[in-house]
Amino acid sequence: MPNRGWNTRHTAIDTMVQATTNERLATQEEMEAAKLPLQYRDFCAHLLIPLNECRRREYYLPWKCERERHRYEKCQYQEYKKRLKNKPEPHER
């Protein structure tokens, strides 16, 4: 399993690369090693892995890991906006 340096700071470039390629940045092996539930193995999983590590390290204190949480939630919001943009219009009756 490659070491992607989850403990290092992610940059805006990471998010831009993910947004333009639509490729998952975390591999199946990395998600399995991080014990991510299946419903969280999406295009933002590469941000959830370091967030969960930080949460465990900081005993889930709500004021800790704010940067990681913000990055993950922003990624989720961007994916939501993409889905809405690509959503087909409902048929009129």
pLDDT in tens, 49-87: 999 999 999 999 999 999 999 999 999 999 999 999 998
pLDDT at 89: 85
Q: Are 65 and 58 in contact (CB under 8 A)?
A: yes
pLDDT at 60: 96
Q: Is the pLDDT of residue 6 over 60?
A: no
Q: What is the 3-state secondary structure (H, E, C) of the chain?
A: CCCCCCCCCCCHHHHHHHHHHCCCCCCHHHHHHCCCCHHHCCCCHHHHHHHHHHHHHCCCCCCCCHHHHHHHHHHHHHHHHHHHHHCCCCCCC
pLDDT at 46: 97
